[in-house]
Amino acid sequence: MKNNKSVQLEGTHVYVAPATPAGKVLAEELKAQGAHVEGFVDNLKTGDNIVNDPTLLAPEDYIVVAEGAYQEVICSTLVQRGALAPQVLTVHQGHISQFHYSWRLRLKNLIHQAEILVLSGLISLIANLAPSRRVVYYTEKFIDNNTLVAWQYHCTMAPERAILVSKNISTISGNSYPIHSIDTLAGKLALIRAKCVVIDHEYHGKLFDVVRSKRPFIQIFHGLPYKFLAGNKHFKHINDRVFISSSDYFNELFFPRLFRAERYLALGYPRNDVFLQSPAERCWVNTPTEQLPQGLIERRGQLWVYMPTFRDNGAFEMPFSLEKMQSLCEQTKRSLVLKFHPFVAKQVIQMFELEGVEEHIVALPGLPNIFLYPTRMNIYPWLADAELLITDYSSVAFDFLLADKPMVFFQHDYDTYYQNRGAFTVPTEDFAAGPVVKNESELFACLAQIAESGADTERGKRIKLIEKLKIRTELACPQLVALTREIE
């Protein structure tokens, strides 16, 4: 990528793009060089110091784009969205210079815009001439639990009316229904002709973005957030038919500020139906079915589950001694299942040189009561049989309220996490419906006390929190399928 003259930023007002860990490092470096860093420019995120629209910046403000594989794409997109080309600067090996918006990039953008216009007209034509009555459940690199459970339930009720379209998934453990690739003509036509499309993530792409502006979408985004989410409010082409959560409280106060939709309904999250079902009624697809929770409980004792949230920097260090945890599990006749984010699980797998962990629960070497759960598989049917949940800042804590069982909040890095993520959506007392512990000693003492006494001292707090947050306590899947029938 060709760059123009070098630029000195001392005393100037600058914004950094994107709002990623690399961007945050660059911001600190620019501050050290004497620049006045006002915030970040990022069209995929929201926050108090994040600008989505580059035209809101003053003409004399600079946008410095961090070095990386997508630097040229980010720079081009900024100019296409209204930034002045001289405003956009690049960093290469510590050298800061003006971005060169070449004729090649200009032509590429014109071709892209023409393709969008043609695609938009074609999609409208196909959808109008050959509309489908099928509901498309859409996913990409992996299938999250809300989409999985809702799709499976819909297929059991009306298999001719539900279809899964995926970008990178060909098989799912325990699944008996077809999976259609978006890379095939059949997959593309299914998406284009869909009666409506159900998603639980924010996806972007040429075809997907155009379809989203043309067909009814139902968004079931992740879960109730303790930490603020990026949302999609800054994408003008989005106006989903319905946004679904499990809480009227969040639907009234938070989600309309973050997500575009015509309606916000508290129907519940499909993955949480397990907490209201018997084991025989639960969806066990995409779980290690050769080993069921009851078998582990009979061999190793009541089940504890540790599910920490992902740290943005990707760094991982086990916050407690596994050896001490093994001793505690032996003393109290308990077993512990670890469920990590894929990035963290990869580090644990390498650390212990584990094999066969993609679809199997594996005991850690020398720690027979501690198990690693497959990171891409659905743990919720197991979570429903757990005696206790250990977490920190994860939205799973809101889900587990429906289990009506104890939780322990191990917030060993609260100050650092708060500094990196910013303000939370609700005060700690409206999230942590259980004891909050700050270090290993407090964690082990708390777990030992709960195991020995068997007392559930926080149940009243959980009940009050469900009432305050107006969390739905009915099965979600039947309501979701009924909603898809209503949409025209």
Structurally, what CATH architecture does the domain formed by 114-274+476-486 represent? 3-Layer(aba) Sandwich (3.40)
pLDDT confidence of residue 164: 98
> How far apart are alpha carbons 464 and 222 in whole angstroms?
23
Cβ atoms 96, 7 nearer than 8 A: yes
Query: 364 to each of 297, 308, 372, how far by Cα in Å?
Result: 17, 18, 7
Q: What's the pLDDT score for residue 291?
A: 81
Tell me the CATH architecture of domain 3-101: 3-Layer(aba) Sandwich (3.40)
The torsion defined by the Cα of 162, 275, 426 and 27, in degrees rounded to 10, comes to -60
CATH number of 288-468: 3.40.50.12580
Q: How many CB atoms lie within 10 A of CB 222?
A: 16
In this structure, is the dihedral angle defined by the CA atoms of residues 76, 78, 81 and 83, taken in order, positive or negative?
negative
Which residue ranges make up each domain of the chain? 3-101, 114-274+476-486, 288-468
The reported pLDDT for the residue numbered 114 is 94
Read off the tokens for 397.
């804590």
pLDDT by 10-residue block (mean), the chain, 488 residues? 71 94 92 95 80 91 94 92 92 92 90 92 95 97 95 98 95 95 97 97 92 96 86 84 98 94 98 98 92 89 93 76 97 96 82 84 94 94 97 95 97 84 83 94 96 91 96 98 94
CB 164 within 8 A of CB 102: no
Distance, CA of 1 to CA of 99 (rounded, Å): 8
pLDDT at 21: 84
Beta-carbon contacts of 298 under 8 Å, excluding residues fewer than 6 positions away, are none
